[in-house]
Chain A
Amino acid sequence: MSASSAKILVIDDDPDFREAVTAILASAGHRVVPASGPDDGKAKVLAERPDLVLLDIMMDSLFDGYALCHAIKTAKEFESVRGTPVVFVSAVKDIAGSRFGFHGGADGLSAPDDYLDKPVKPADLLALVDRFLSR
């Protein structure tokens, strides 16, 4: 499939969803690092330095995905991993209900690099990973 394999951090509080997504990514030879929530995810972005972050939006609290994405894009503690692409993977539209607004990030917060609706189509996910890998 893809010429190279990536290290992908999957931050999602649903273990079943993580398992299913891991199966998709593993089928193309990618390595998955799972994280079970925003705190775990935050630590692993820094410790694992993934090639790509797949980020759920609603986890422990309402919108921690937005907050973590914004932090990765702007906060000083994430300086060392600043270029890491972040992709929202979520079943929520944005707070206002807009699919396209969601794509752009919430009010005043940094936008993700891309987004995918849950449930994820395997082909869409793998194509997206290849797109970011080739950058």
Chain B
Amino acid sequence: MTLSPLVLVIDDEESMRDSCAQILVRMGCRVETAADGEAGLRRAGEARPDAVIVDLKMPGIGGLEVLDAVRALDPQIVTIVITGYATVDAAVEAMKKGAYDFLPKPFSPDELRLIIGRALERRHLALEAERLRREKKLIEDNVITLVSHQLRSPLVAVQQYFEVLLAGMAGRLEEKPREMIRKANERLTGLMNLINDWLDLAKIDKGGLVGKQRPLDLRPLLEKQVEFLTPLASEYGLVLAWGESPVGLPAALGDPASLEQVFSNILHNAIVYNRPGGRVEVRLGEAEESVVVTIRDTGIGIAAKDLPLIFDEFYRVSRGESSGAKGSGLGLPIAKKIVEAHGGRIEAASVLGEGTTFTIRLPKAPPENERR
């Protein structure tokens, strides 16, 4: 905003245009002039001035019409009217139409300087307020994303250094310090997961995590998850596979991004709370009004007393002291909130020591011919 302000003077009297221009240029303004309303509006549209000074009484398009048109063009342009016949009525009318001030003819250079100075100051403040409002809105709309970024950034930097150390890229590391760094890194991963989940939960509560729902074939969505998590399953020594699922199932109504997270959370649990040599099975089916996803594991199972509580925030089934990365205790509550925001249901059944089955029911999309 180092550019000097641009003022457009619209007056049919040449002497008036010239004297205004002279005064304004000496104030440090850039000036454009127009001899009638029509030419003035054309210039206003092209040059987008900061301020317009317009004579009320001109042949052709009059000053009041010019005021209306300038306001329609950009309400932030400040307007000042010159009233040749210094009647209160005309000035009042102009102010009602949004003029910032008026100058009764004849006026002195000082009067013009004072009024235009105030007008430009006001415009500057209005534009600044507008800019701040926009910036604030952007931040408000994305506050969770911003917070999560600020929380994650330092963790990422620390973990990245650890990765370099563990890879021996900053010199050879003895066994003992290597082991400690590995553990420290795992704890940070746990903290990172906690931050991510906590912020996702906040997003759901603000209504921001579940996007626009559309008819959705769940099979490719699940296939991607299975493919993505297969390396993790192998790491845990288990098989992640599809169970018997009919083809040609109807579409569900859903938001792919958030549902992806539901399946990812549940599959992840099914893998990490499993036993070596175990199995995780994904099946797709349908009921009367819903598409049904079943995820079954051969894991440690959940005790009957714990089962009603697993979808509560921060509830974690106690299984003694364990080292390494822990879940945040938020994966299932997030999954439940997302499924319920879809109008669906999620349930768990389990036998301790044998495994757990999660069943997710999502409403079917209406048939093709009933859509829209």
Contact = CB atoms under 8 A, between A and B. Distances in A.
> Are A and B associated in one complex?
yes
Interface of A: 14, 16-17, 20-21, 23-24, 27, 58, 62, 91-92, 94-101, 118-123
B145 interface: yes
| Leading 4 A-B pairs by shortest Cβ distance | A98-B257, A119-B159, A20-B160, A16-B157
Contacts of B159: 118-119
A23 B160 CA distance: 10
Interface stretch (B27-35, B162-170, B242-250, B309-317): B162-170
Contacts of B258: 96-97
A21 B156 contact: no
A62 B142 contact: yes
Interface residues of B, number: 32
B209 A97 contact: yes
A17 B142 contact: no
A95 B257 CA distance: 10
Contact of B164 (A92, A95, A122): A122
Nearest to A20: B160
Contacts of A62: 138, 142, 145-146
A62 to B, nearest CB: 6
Contacts of B148: 92
B156 A14 contact: yes
Contacts of B255: 96
B152 A120 contact: no
A95 B146 CA distance: 11
B161 A20 contact: yes
Nearest to A119: B159
A53 B61 CA distance: 58
Contacts of B224: 100
Contact of A120 (B149, B160, B228): B160
